[in-house]
Amino acid sequence: MSPVTDFLPPSLLTASGRKRRRSQEAAEEDEPANTLPSAADDTDKHSVGFYLNRLAGLGVPDLTTPASHLSLCISLSDIFSDGTFYGCQAARRVWMAQQGIDRVPAHFPGIVDALLANYITDYTDAFLFERCPSLYQATGRLLFLSGDSAGAVAAQAAWMRAHLGELADRTAIVRLTGLFRAPDPETDTPSSVAGGGVHHSKFMLLHLADGRLRLVIHTANDIEYDWVHKCQGVFVHDLCLAPAACSAPPGTMGHGLVRYLSAYVQAARASMQSARPRLVSAGGAAALRDGMSVFVRLVQRADFRALAHMHVVASVPGWHAMREAQPAPFGYPALATLVGTAALRQRSPATRLIIQCSSLSSADMSASVSSAGAAAAGPWFTRQFLAALMPAAATASVHLMWPTVEQVRSSLEGYHSGIGLLASAKVFTDRPSLSLPAYLTAWNAEWSHRQRIMPHIKTIAACRGDNGECDYCYLGSANATPAAWGALQRQGQSLRCMNWELGVLWVSAAGDYSTNAPLLWHARDAPRGPPDPTDRRSYRLLPLPYDTAEAALARYRRGRDQPWVSDRLELLPDAAEDAVNYAGGGVSGRPK
């Protein structure tokens, strides 16, 4: 029996299941061996827990750094199987000492509780349980949060009831929406809904049986297409669990994560008290409240000291007060507060701010900030988002990385890969949006072997010079849109966020010589020794799929390069000799 079927109860090995597993075993023989470093190695000393998704099925080779031979690619199955993800040897030694062991166990300890949250989901054996069979053996609670349609969530819930046996009684899937629900053809009429907003966060919490809490924040929808055919980013880190809860100091990653998870509990309670729930689907509020409370308590027990220079950046649907002494704890003001210490204000003209996402939506529409007041009137992208991240005194150049029509057409999947790259043509042509084209930079991913793989990853990186040094890096679910990051309303007194979003931020210790905090470097330009022989600080590697060197950041060529849009018919045949119209309804509601 294969390692996959070892996890499955005999009653679940149906004929169709046996057939799928035989196919999977055959496919696994053709795939390269798992290149994750073994627990005894010291090869992960430069890791920050940032990986790219493995694309072996597409013939894309894994990445390793020449400096440390560190694997920079993992698959979804890796997250639910053997291996430890500490990012540094010190954290691993702490955990091993707490467990009274001298080496990491060779076998996956199993899952006690698991929380998986996403936008578009397939939580059945057609996808998730097929690749992550250890979920079948969970001894505690399984909680799934989805932003998918009511029909899709209902179908997944029915599958769980029919196939999980006794585990189904400890399993819940809850459908969440944004502040304003998007119309659902099954339950809503156009007049009953105002605006849009979705549960867009993509993260996991796995409580392992050996006393670890595995935190995963990533960019892929939980569907096969996203994990296998798109360029994605994954942060994963194992946290030690203390016997009792402790209070994380404000400003730390633990404090931010508890605050974000607690917002789900608050939304559930508000929904239970409201005659017309707006954030949680009917019948799911109690399951959300009870289940999320379990994971809040687990995070309160987690040791985040190894992640001292990392932060959670989140958005929660609602109106958040903007006070001068205390900015909003969510959205782009929270990001601006955290990166304000990264010394971007004092950098030279060689500093580059690279914003890369998979949806622009109404990113630069003036209507999105019409009530923000004179101080922020005008396009959201420039007057609010960029102004917060790059004060007027800064001299950094801004690059909005977005694939061209030709890059999508010539990708491995042709126009089909444009699904998930959402931007209306008027974002680039309307008069309020004329600032966007000036920032456009083509997708470049030659170094990561992903030039012909279209991105679904979302990042923001501040880099300087051509030596690969980074001031900070964001990886998460948020696209460059006001729905994701928030927009000022009520004359600038409130920030309105519409989506649930979650990301992680790495901040370099550049310029701070009072600590031994690590420096951040692009893995493409990993130094072979200490960046500064007189500096005792170590460095950590960021496997950004694109090159951050000035020469590699190619601006759109006037009259030759056109940005990919999701509402226009492309007439030239693509790599598959197809001329496909992905306009309007062709991409509406698809992964983003």
pLDDT for residue 358: 96
pLDDT for residue 244: 86
pLDDT for residue 474: 96
Beta strands in 283-426 (DSSP E): 310-315, 318-321, 352-356, 397-401
β-sheet bridge partners, residue 238? 214
Beta-sheet strand order (sheet of 494-497): 318-321, 494-497, 487-489
Give the per-residue SS3 of 303-343.
CCHHHCCEEEEEECCEEEECCCCCCCCCHHHHHHHHHHHHC
Three-point CA angle 320, 324, 326, nearest 5°: 60
Query: 190-199 in b/e burial notation, b at 16+ Cβ within 10 A?
Result: eeeeeebbbb
Question: Quick one: CA dihedral 49, 52, 53, 59, positive or negative?
Answer: negative
**pLDDT tens-digit profile of 17-45?**
433 444 444 443 443 333 333 333 444 56
β-sheet bridge partners, residue 519? 539
- Distance from C-alpha of 225 to C-alpha of 31, rounded to nearest angstrom: 18
pLDDT for residue 399: 94
Residue 426 is assigned to a ligand binding site: no
β-sheet bridge partners, residue 206? 114, 214
Which of the 8 DSSP states describes residue 424?
-
**pLDDT tens-digit profile of 41-52?**
444 567 889 999
Which of the 8 DSSP states describes residue 545?
S
543 CB burial (10 A radius; 0-12, 13-18, 19+): buried
β-sheet bridge partners, residue 71? 64
Which of the 8 DSSP states describes residue 503?
E
Close Cβ partners of 253 (under 8 Å, ≥ 6 residues apart): 304, 307, 308, 310, 311, 312, 504
β-sheet bridge partners, residue 391? none
Q: Which DSSP helix (H) or strand (E) runs through 144? A: strand 142-146
- Distance from C-alpha of 145 to C-alpha of 77, rounded to nearest angstrom: 19
Three-point CA angle 100, 104, 105, nearest 5°: 100
β-sheet bridge partners, residue 171? 142
Question: Quick one: CA dihedral 102, 108, 114, 116, positive or negative?
Answer: positive
Q: Residue type for 266, please?
A: Q
pLDDT for residue 47: 81
- Distance from C-alpha of 178 to C-alpha of 197, rounded to nearest angstrom: 4
Provide the 10 A C-beta neighbour count for residue 392: 6
For 105, the token pair is 């166990």
- Distance from C-alpha of 345 to C-alpha of 417, rounded to nearest angstrom: 37
Residue 230 is assigned to a ligand binding site: no
For 460, the token pair is 């923001």
Q: Which DSSP helix (H) or strand (E) runs through 236? A: strand 233-240
For 338, the token pair is 């955290």
72 close to 51: Cβ distance less than 8 angstroms: yes
176 close to 500: Cβ distance less than 8 angstroms: yes
The residues annotated as belonging to the active site are: 200, 456
3-class DSSP assignment, residue 145: strand
- Distance from C-alpha of 355 to C-alpha of 342, rounded to nearest angstrom: 16
Which of 185, 215, 488 lies closest to 336, judged by CA?
A: 488
Domains of the chain (ranges; CATH) run 31-305 (3.30.870.10), 309-586 (3.30.870.10)
pLDDT in single tens digits along all 592 residues of the chain: 333 334 343 334 443 443 344 444 444 344 333 333 333 344 456 788 999 999 988 888 888 876 666 778 999 999 998 766 654 455 555 556 666 666 555 578 899 999 999 999 999 999 999 999 999 999 999 999 999 999 999 999 999 999 999 999 999 999 997 765 444 445 544 444 445 689 999 999 999 998 899 999 999 999 999 999 999 999 999 998 988 888 888 888 999 999 999 999 999 998 888 766 567 877 789 999 999 999 999 999 999 988 888 999 999 998 888 887 777 789 999 998 888 765 554 455 557 899 999 999 766 554 444 444 444 456 888 888 988 887 655 667 899 999 999 999 999 988 888 888 998 888 888 766 667 888 999 999 999 999 999 999 999 998 877 778 888 899 999 999 999 999 888 777 889 898 999 999 998 865 554 455 678 888 887 765 555 655 556 788 899 999 998 889 999 998 899 999 988 766 666 666 665 444 433 333 345 6
pLDDT for residue 378: 62
- Distance from C-alpha of 530 to C-alpha of 545, rounded to nearest angstrom: 23
Which of 28, 32, 48, 27 lies closest to 520, judged by CA?
A: 48
Q: What Rg, from alpha-carbon coordinates, does the chain have?
A: 23
Number of H helices and number of E strands within the chain?
16, 20
Q: Give how far Cα 188 sits from Cα of 181, 398, 591, Å.
A: 9, 41, 21
β-sheet bridge partners, residue 397? 352
What DSSP letter does each residue of 228-289 carry, written as one string? HHSB-EEEEEEEEB-SS--PPPTTSHHHHHHHHHHHHHHHHHHHHH-SS-SSB-TT-HHHHH
Which of the 8 DSSP states describes residue 216?
E
79 CB burial (10 A radius; 0-12, 13-18, 19+): buried
For 365, the token pair is 């529409």
Q: What pairing do the DSSP bridges indicate for beta strands 519-522 and 539-542?
A: parallel
- Distance from C-alpha of 462 to C-alpha of 397, rounded to nearest angstrom: 10
For 183, the token pair is 């119309």
β-sheet bridge partners, residue 213? 207, 239
- Distance from C-alpha of 116 to C-alpha of 445, rounded to nearest angstrom: 29
Which of 306, 328, 335 lies closest to 461, judged by CA?
A: 335
pLDDT for residue 390: 77
